Structure 1
Amino acid sequence: MPVFGLHIRILGVALAAFVVVAEVAYADPTPDFFVLLERAKAAPRISAGEAEVAAAEARALQAEVGPNPSLSLEVENFGGKGLYQGTDASETTLSIGQLLELGGKREARIAAASLEAQAVRAQQTRNTSDFAAELAVAYARAEASAELAKLTAEAVGLAEGDAKTTRALVDSGREAELRFVQASAELARVRAELVQARAAEASAFARLTAFAGSKTPFDSIAVSLLSREPRATAVAGGTAPAVAVAQAESRAASAKVTIEERRWIPDITITGGVRSFASTDETAVVAGLSIPLPLFDQNRGGSAAARSEALAASLRLERAQSEADADRRAALAGLAAASQFLSAQLEVERASAEAYRLAQVGYEAGRVPLLELASVRRSLIETRRQTINIRLARVAAEAEAARVTGRLPFGE
């Protein structure tokens, strides 16, 4: 690409980066991951789940409450003809009635509401685990973008050094002017990459800020997560959050079956009160009892539906248990592979650094051509870039391992 075209490319990317960077003019370093995770509990995603848990627990409390009594006032035998004109022959009855729940309905309702609250709490625990894993990845991506921007800045410095060396060799007559033009074009190219890397860095920190629900933008990483060692030994223990949710939902569905099977049992209403006779100015006690007859509606359909839902919940539990076991094994394998890959990559990076050092010495001595030096330098930068990406992949593997086992990434 011509040098002029590269300068145009730099200008365009710089303008795009300026828009992003301007939005974070007042920014703070990102705190340690665990500090950020604690602060992020106030984020809408977590707060909404806690509100749902509070609602389910409130419903569980409400389920313990029995039906209210009813107060009734009845006036009869007035406003008619003959003896029943006016109110002299009226009868006034004041009574109170109470519905009595029979067949264990109240106990079943309380148990079901309590189990439903447990299911909502289990889902919130799972959501919190997922959130922590996603926050770890967002944190690592922001750190990786900052490292890549720093690496690209180093590449610019190396390219500037190569260009200066080339200029000196051209001035001494040891290289043709074409070599300096090539070195200048290479320098323009890496400068364009630096502008892009800084724009990507600003974007990654903006996403991290939004994900964590922080009002103050972040622009750097205070404590590295990419270099932190994962807790591989913690993968094997504990109940997977998906299984815990499925277990709780299965128990809640079974409890609803009991509710539906008992719903047809008639409840009785007892009443008691006082009746006043206006014609004799006397009073008498009245009592009553009413009970519905389940001749037509015995809630067979409701019971069948609840049993089918319970069956579906139990099948989902079986599926969750099977998938959780596979996910756990895959997470452990992925984490081990990422750690091994990083160890191998570090060896490659050391070899690339030594190769570039030798290429620089050879170029200055006139034994290595400029194109080979530039090729070795690009290889070094690319190797370091791969190392950063592999570190990021290891964080993602640790986050996935933490998610499927219900623990915090890089925690116990």
Structure 2
Amino acid sequence: MRFMILAAALLAVVPASVLAQEVRPTLGADLPRYEAPAEAPEPPGSRGTLTLQQALALSLLHNPDLAAHSWELRAREAEALQAGAFANPMLGAELENFAGAGQASGFDNAEFTLQLSQFIELGGKRGERRSLAERTTDLAWRTYDIERVRVFSETRGAFIAVLAAQDQLELAEELTRVAAEVLESITRRVRAGGTSPVEASRARVALQASGIEQIEHQRALDVARATLASQWGAVSVAQAEGSLGSISELPTVELLLAGVDQSPEVMAWAAEVLRRDAELELAGSQRVPDVEFAGGVRHFAASGDLGVVAGVSISLPVFNRYGGQIDAASARRHQAERSRQSTANQVRLALQRSVALAEARAIEAVSLRDTVLPEAAKAFELASAALRSGRMRLTDVLDTQRTLFELRSQFIDALVAHHLAVGEIERLTGQPITDISPTSGSLQR
């Protein structure tokens, strides 16, 4: 009876003292909180017109990749909480000197021991382990930032592609309408005997070719809309509302290069360097031996007496001094730093290329808009008038018509390339170019 009372007292006291550990609040309360979306959310509807801001908002709220990354963040936060936990105590029971021979044949001389043991980490291992988990969580957030910027950039690019496809389809419809008008004019002249029926055949072929192009552009628009809608898990979108006509003012290359260290990709590698630092510190702490304390009571059946047992054990770093683990952690830390430098260099090069492309396409678009297209439109008007009066052949008119519409298509392509290059600059820097000043160039927008 005395033995049971002492054993119960031992179990009641140890959790309040030896087992006492830091009480953590609710999951993630002391870490940056992120509310992950509900599982299997319903994809938003996609009816009516859609603006760029609406498309971006839908993507950031409902993109499947971002939803997956949000749960990874929750997992990292949970691991950071778990990393700070103490080791659980061990409860052991031991029965000796029984079921043998002689005086040990029964239980009269048996000895029963009940003890608790607690493993204690020394050298700051628990703190270093928690620091590593927190640095890993920070890296997960940086990775999420990269993914978020990527989704933002891809959605912007997909929206631009829809606008371009809509413009190209309108252009193809206009070309078909003009070709039909030309065919009607040629047909009247053929009936009046003013031109050869061959001209009517040529005009009919041009109309059919325009119709084929119109169908192709309609299919391209359908694909572009589906691509945009996939950013938030929908099937398709209706009409995209916006214009490709504006040309963005670009920051100077020098200003962009000065902020490379704030690029999401470079900052992610900087977070990886800090994580490797924490990993190296944890590896170094392994060199400090850990100890284990044990204590309990022993009952002697022969006399009914009770005794206290206590012990301590410590690991001896004889065969394993963790030198290889420390060297490996140090090597990975240097590797992360070199990767950060390499990424920064790649971002600088990509920024220079994107700025050059954006500026070149802007110059091309302005030149087409202000000079080339007005001249081409004027030439087509004069050719059409000459055709109606019989002073020009149909083939020449078709050439001027084709040239005009090809130049208009080229103008759309130049605007798209400019906006995509601007989007790439924003992806690399992680911020809108309107937040970066001063600007370069003096193009008339």
For the criterion TM > 0.5, the same-fold answer is yes
Matches within 5 A, 1:335-346: 335-346=358-369
Quick one: structure 1 residues 328 and 35, their matched pair in 2 at CA, closer, same or farther if it must change by over 3 Å?
same
Which residue among 237, 240, 246 is the counterpart of 1:218? 237
1:280 aligns with 2:303: yes
- Of the structure 1 ranges 177-186 and 241-250, higher mean CA displacement relative to structure 2 is found in 177-186
The aligned length equals: 385
Matches within 5 A, 1:21-36: 28-29=47-48, 31-36=50-55
- For residues 421 and 184 of structure 2, what CA distance do their matches in structure 1 show? 43
Q: Is the 8 A contact 1:30 1:220 kept in 2?
A: yes
1:232 is matched with: 250
**Structure 1 stretches of 4+ moved >4 Å:** 408-412
Which residue among 372, 377, 392 is the counterpart of 1:368? 392
1:322 aligns with 2:345: yes
Q: Is the 8 A contact 2:80 2:130 kept in 1?
A: yes
2:429 is matched with: 405
- For residues 53 and 407 of structure 1, what CA distance do their matches in structure 2 show? 22
Which one-letter code corresponds to 1:283 in the other structure? L
Task: Give 1:173 deviation, angstroms.
Answer: 2.6
2:294 is matched with: 271
2:323 is matched with: 300
Q: Report the TM-score when normalising by structure 2.
A: 0.82
How high is the sequence identity, in percent, across the aligned residues?
Answer: 26
Task: Give 1:233 deviation, angstroms.
Answer: 3.6
Which residue among 129, 137, 148 is the counterpart of 2:149? 129
1:178 aligns with 2:198: yes
Deviations 1:115-167 (A, max 9, x none): 11111211111121122112221221122112111111100000011111112
Q: Is the 8 A contact 2:289 2:314 kept in 1?
A: yes
Q: Is the 8 A contact 1:398 1:410 kept in 2?
A: no
Q: CA RMSD in A?
A: 2.1
- For residues 390 and 422 of structure 2, what CA distance do their matches in structure 1 show? 48
2:31 is matched with: none
Task: Give 1:308 deviation, angstroms.
Answer: 1.0
Matches within 5 A, 1:80-95: 80-95=100-115
Which one-letter code corresponds to 1:303 in the other structure? I
- For residues 389 and 104 of structure 1, what CA distance do their matches in structure 2 show? 60
- For residues 51 and 132 of structure 2, what CA distance do their matches in structure 1 show? 42
Quick one: structure 1 residues 191 and 316, their matched pair in 2 at CA, closer, same or farther if it must change by over 3 Å?
same
Q: Counterpart of 1:99 in 2: which secondary structure?
A: strand
Quick one: structure 1 residues 38 and 408, their matched pair in 2 at CA, closer, same or farther if it must change by over 3 Å?
farther
Q: Is the 8 A contact 2:163 2:242 kept in 1?
A: no
Task: Give 1:393 deviation, angstroms.
Answer: 0.6
Task: Give 1:277 deviation, angstroms.
Answer: 1.6
- For residues 376 and 49 of structure 1, what CA distance do their matches in structure 2 show? 53
Q: Is the 8 A contact 2:59 2:155 kept in 1?
A: no
- Of the structure 1 ranges 96-105 and 26-35, higher mean CA displacement relative to structure 2 is found in 26-35
2:356 is matched with: 333
Task: Give 1:103 deviation, angstroms.
Answer: 0.8
Quick one: structure 1 residues 111 and 120, their matched pair in 2 at CA, closer, same or farther if it must change by over 3 Å?
same
Which residue among 167, 173, 177 is the counterpart of 1:157? 177
Matches within 5 A, 1:378-393: 378-393=402-417
- For residues 382 and 123 of structure 1, what CA distance do their matches in structure 2 show? 43
1:67 aligns with 2:68: no
Deviations 1:28-57 (A, max 9, x none): 346222222222232221111222222222
Q: Report the TM-score when normalising by structure 1.
A: 0.88
Unaligned runs of 5+ in 2: 1-44, 437-445
Q: Is the 8 A contact 2:247 2:418 kept in 1?
A: no
Unaligned runs of 5+ in 1: 1-25
Q: Counterpart of 1:276 in 2: which secondary structure?
A: strand
